Amino acid sequence: MNLENIEDLVYKENINLVNSYLEETPASYFCYNNTKVIVLDKSKVSNNNEVKECLTEELGHYYMDATYNFNSNINLVSKQEYRAHKWAYNVLIPYEDLKLAVKNRKQWFI
């Protein structure tokens, strides 16, 4: 999927996309009073591929309902991050494409 497709998903789901400073992360998803927002700190991403990866992961939080509070314990945070990453990986690299790439890989010998 390309960046345009990912941005289309953001707008299709009525998620507000905001560029703003974030302290520790390049992007974050949250929902407050039924307002869905992805905040992207463009100063922390250097190219469109990184933007695509950030937006896809944040969409993973939305689609998988993988959210947590700032004071959540580390186990919940890890579980929710895993769910969002897994969704993003499946969108960015579909299983059939991955399977084909592995099947057609070149063998390297030392």
What's the mean pLDDT when you consider all of the chain? Answer: 92
CATH number at residue 44: 3.30.2010
Report the predicted TM-score, pTM, of the whole model to 2 decimal places. Answer: 0.86
Domain count, the chain: 1
Give residue 26's pLDDT. 97
Query: Do the domain assignments include residue 17?
Result: yes
Containing domain of residue 85, as a range? 3-103
Q: What is the pLDDT of residue 34?
A: 92
Residues 66-85, mean pLDDT to the nearest whole number:
96
Decide if 109 is inside a domain: no
Residue 108 within a domain: no
What is the pLDDT at residue 110? 40
CA angle 19, 82, 98 (to 5 degrees): 95
Which of the pair, 49 or 103, is modelled with greater confidence? 49
Average the pLDDT over 20-47 and give the result: 95
Q: How confident is the model at residue 3 (pLDDT cuts 50, 70, 90)?
A: very high
Q: Please determine, for residue 65, whether its predicted confidence score (pLDDT) is greater than 50.
A: yes
In contact, 81 and 41? CB cutoff 8 Å = no
At which residue do the structure tokens 């896809």 appear? 56
pLDDT at position 44 is: 97
Helix (H) or strand (E) run with residue 100 in it: helix 95-103
What is the band of 106 on the pLDDT scale with cuts at 50, 70, 90? low
